Structure formats: C-alpha cells, structure tokens
Amino acid sequence: MTVELLRKPKIINVGARNFHDSLKAQGADSVHVDWRPPAGGDREMVALLDKLKKI
C-alpha cells in the first residue's frame, strides 16, 4: 500500500494553512481543509455526534 504513496504523494492538508502553502510552493499535489473545531469545540458533544454517526 505504501508503494503508491512513495511514488507520488497526493496530500490533503487538515489544519495549518502554512503547510499547504509550503506544499504548493514545492509543486506538490495538495488540497486544503479549512478545519474548525466541530460542535463549537465542545468535546463531549463531538463524542456524542460521532457515536450517532456510527449507528
């Protein structure tokens, strides 16, 4: 499974925009996720939502 990765990494960047910009500057294939804390950063609510998703 790693063969494809080492041949050509295609990246999804989740978080720091700076890393996506660096990847682009290197000519890498990268898409950026403008991540925000789910459920307004309420961790208990996040855990609950994740549980619901799995049902």
Partner 1 sequence: MVTKSRVCKGEYRDSIFLMRISQQLGSLDGVQQTSVIMATDANKELLRDAGTFTDEVARAGPNDLAIVVDAVSPERAEEAISKAMEMMAEAVKERAEEAEAVYKTLDSAAGASPDSNLVLISVPGAFAAREAERALELGKHVMIFSDGVSVEDEIRLKRLGKEKGMLVMGPDCGTAIINGIGLGFANVVKRGPVGVVAASGTGAQEVASLISAGPGISHVIGTGGRDLSDEVGGITMLMGLRALAADPETETIVLISKPPSPEVAKRVLKAASEVGKPTVVNFLGGDPKIIEEAGLTPAITLEDAAAKVIALQRGGKPRSVTFSADSDEIKKTAEREYGKIQPHQRYIRGIYSGGTFCSEAMLIARDLVGDVYSNVPLKPELKLEDSNTSKEHTFVDMGEDEFTVEIGKPHPMIYHELRQKRILQEASDPETAVLLLDAVLGYGAHEDPAGALAPTLREAKKIAGKEERYLPVIASVCGTLQDPQNLTAQEKKLKDAGVVLMPSNAQAARMAALIVTRGGAWNKIVRR
* Nearer CB in complex with partner 1: 8/55: 8
**Binders of partner 1 among 22-51, rule CB under 8 A?**
22-23, 25-26, 28-29, 31-38, 40-41, 43, 46, 50
With beta carbons less than 8 A apart as the criterion, state whether 13 and 22 touch.
no
How far is the CA of 53 from the CAs of 24, 31, 34, 39, 44, in angstroms? 34, 25, 22, 14, 14
Q: Does 14 bind partner 1 (CB under 8 A)?
A: yes
* Nearer CB in complex with partner 1: 7/52: 7
